[in-house]
């Protein structure tokens, strides 16, 4: 595996379900990010992790719970979601969280549908 | 107020021609960075090109170049010799820093480019 991988690629869940999204980066990066991309809206940053520590929570509802057990893995645990949470969830990684040139590498995303 | 503005929801270009995708930004920082990403229908965001605010020359990467006009706060992407595979959504993004010191990218709404044969 190379780059940033995300599983599953597609997920359909009911509002009472609990599911998790997984992201793994094979680039040796130290920072990982969760973004949400809703239809006709700009990409929105949700969470930032730097060396496994959460450094940014962009006012995300508690029904989204991130977990970063190590610098290579990032999870997004989902519970009691709402239909408006349906979106493409993108994971990204970068060498560090700040710098003059800090390109973020993105995974293919998980297309989430909440019924 | 929007920090990144992409005024073209959709653009069409003939194969082998050049196309310019517009991006204007709003910041009071002296040091900032601007990125362009391509998102094909598969969903993955692909990094194309970067321009730092202190870079004196416009960035170029193969067929991609960035027309950086600092005084006008614009960072337009120019794609030369368009190919059918260039059909995708294109996002302009600006790096900014949160109160916690984390870097984050602020994205525009995107431009959907369609290359016609």
Q: What is the pLDDT of residue A101?
A: 62
Locate A74 and state its tokens: 């990032």
Residue of A4, A7, A41, A43 to mutate, interface with B, max B Cβ within 10 Å = A43
Render pLDDT for A47-100 as a digit per residue (tens, 0 to 9).
999 888 888 888 899 999 999 999 899 999 999 999 999 999 999 999 875 655
A55 touches chain B (CB under 8 A): yes
At A76, which helix (H) or strand (E)? Answer: strand A73-79
Q: What is the pLDDT of residue A102?
A: 72
Residue of A36, A94, A100, A105 to mutate, interface with B, max B Cβ within 10 Å = A100
Mean of all residue pLDDT scores within chain B: 92
8 Å CB contact between A110 and A89: yes
A103 touches chain B (CB under 8 A): yes
- pLDDT above 80 (res B3): yes
- End-to-end alpha carbon distance in chain B: 38
Q: Is A69 left (phi over 0), alpha (psi -120 to 50) or beta?
A: alpha
Nearest CB to A50 within list B93, B102, B105: B102
Render pLDDT for B25-36 as a digit per residue (tens, 0 to 9).
999 888 889 999
Which residue in B79, B104, B109 sits closest to B2, CA to CA? Answer: B109
On the 0-12 / 13-18 / 19+ scale of CB atoms within 10 A, B112 is middle
* Pairing mode of beta strands A18-25, A4-7: antiparallel
A107 touches chain B (CB under 8 A): yes
């Amino acid at each position: 595996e190379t780059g940033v991988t995300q599983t599953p690629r597609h997920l359909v869940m009911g509002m009472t379900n609990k599911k998790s999204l997984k992201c793994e980066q094979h680039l040796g990066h130290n920072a990982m990010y969760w973004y949400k991309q809703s239809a006709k809206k700009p990409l929105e940053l949700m969470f930032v992790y730097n060396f496994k520590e959460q450094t940014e929570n962009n006012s995300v509802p508690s029904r989204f719970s991130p977990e970063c057990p190590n610098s290579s893995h990032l999870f997004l645990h989902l519970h009691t979601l709402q239909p408006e949470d349906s979106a493409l969830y993108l994971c990204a990684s970068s060498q560090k969280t700040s710098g003059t040139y800090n390109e973020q590498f993105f995974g293919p995303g998980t297309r989430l549908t909440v019924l | 107020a929007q920090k990144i503005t992409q005024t073209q929801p959709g653009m069409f270009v003939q194969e082998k021609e050049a196309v310019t995708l517009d991006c204007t930004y709003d910041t009071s920082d002296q040091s900032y960075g601007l990125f362009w990403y391509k998102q094909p229908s598969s969903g993955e965001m692909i990094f194309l090109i970067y321009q730092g605010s202190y870079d004196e020359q416009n960035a170029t990467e193969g067929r991609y170049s960035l027309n950086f006009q600092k005084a006008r706060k614009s960072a337009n992407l120019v794609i030369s010799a368009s190919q059918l595979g260039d059909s995708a959504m294109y996002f302009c993004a600006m790096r900014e820093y949160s109160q916690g010191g984390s870097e984050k990218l602020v994205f525009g709404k995107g431009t959907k480019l369609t290359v016609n044969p």
